[in-house]
Structure 1
Amino acid sequence: MATLHHFPDLEAALSRLADLTAPGGVLAIAGVARTSRPKDVMLHLGGAVQHRWLARKYGFWEHTAPTVWPPPHDYLTVRRTAERVLPGVQWKQLLLWRYALIWRKPIS
């Protein structure tokens, strides 16, 4: 959960996660990326409104986890790298600078 942005070599990190996935197993990644296109900015304006509403409703959660901001990889880089390293990966861009990758390791 939101760890790939801590690794400068995205391709090596995805390759290692793929190696650790059992044949037929599923690798599910929820990550954080930075915006690089106007489309991304528009999506995150909606996310910023959502974040303010949730923070007002539930309060702000303080955590002790290390923060890497801005994320070193943009959406396009993450998507292209994942598609190269994890053939057949499913990609979804989410609100608040997040994305999801779902990949099933072939049984071979």
Structure 2
Amino acid sequence: MPSPEELPNPYWNHNVHYHRLVLDAVPDGCTRALDIGCGDGLLVRKLARRIPEVTGVDRSPAMIRLAREAGARTPNAAFVEADFMTAADGVLPGPYDFLSAVAVLHHLDFTAAVRRMADLLAPGGRLVVIGLANNGTPLDWLISGTGLPGSWILARRHGGKSGPSGLPMQDPDMTWSEIRRAAQGMLPGSRVRRHLLWRYVWVWDKPGS
């Protein structure tokens, strides 16, 4: 089976840039995965190259339609039109060994969404969140500013193709420090790292049974 890195990106944006960190975090022996807010399914198709069963869920009919069209030749990838916060167990039949959520959490109630993710994760499973946060201090603004040259160079290198239109846009409410404190408070053992292109990566391993 070819590695995920061999699947070319049809476009580039800040979220796609960090797909590699999600892929690198997939644990050995992972058999079932769920990508929350999957959009057009690009990350699902990448995950499906190393995980036997991958489901993408999104509440947008338009995005799920695109995902199903693009994933027609990926038999181990399934796409579900649903709100993962309220979907019945039969719609998202967890638990899953691996959960990913890219640029999704700031659209949701933080506490409720994190609890739902933890519930869907199997004991010993791994959660990876690529998220956005708000600047709360002068240092935050300084760090954010350093990402501008890199973002411009990378966008030029990749031809300026930013991805499908119609994705929801919303500014994050929580600051970088608030995200870190909340993550570690709700899910002890969480590892949260801030990255240059206005994203953080949060990894949590659920304790085994």
Q: Name which structure has the greater RCO, CA cutoff 8 Å, separation 6+.
A: 1
The aligned residue for residue 49 of structure 1 is: 149
* 8 Å contact from structure 1 (residues 34, 97) kept in 2: no
Mapped partners of 2:159, 2:179: distance in 1: 31
| Structure 2 residue identity aligned to 1:3 | V
TM-score (norm. length: structure 2): 0.48
RMSD: 1.3
Work out whether residues 35 and 97 of structure 1, in 8 Å CA contact, stay in contact via their aligned partners in 2. Answer: no
The SS at the match of 2:203 is strand
Larger radius of gyration: 2
Structure-1 residue corresponding to 2:138: 38
Task: Give the alignment of 1:56-75 within 5 angstroms.
Answer: 56-60=156-160, 61-64=162-165, 65-68=167-170, 70-75=171-176
How many residue pairs get matched? 106
Aligned counterpart for 1:6 among listed residues 107, 117, 140 = 107
1:85 aligns with 2:186: yes
Q: Which runs of 5+ in 2 are unaligned?
A: 1-101
Distance 2:163 2:119 in 1: 34
Q: Secondary structure at the match of 1:93?
A: strand
Aligned equivalents of 1:46 and 1:5: distance in 2?
A: 22
Q: Deviations over 1:29-81 (max 9, x none)?
A: 1111111112221211221111111122223215321111x212211221111
Instruction: Identify the range of structure 1 (96-105 vs 58-67) with the bigger mean alpha-carbon deviation.
Output: 58-67
Corresponding residue number in structure 2 for 1:96:
197
In 1, Cα distance between equivalents of 2:163 and 2:206: 36
1:9-24 correspondence runs (5 A): 9-24=109-124
**TM-score, structure 1 length as denominator?**
0.89
Task: Judge conservation of contact 1:88–1:103 (CA < 8 Å) in 2.
Answer: yes
Partner Cα distance (1:58, 1:24) in 2: 37
**Deviation >3 Å, runs of 4+:** none
Higher strand share: 2
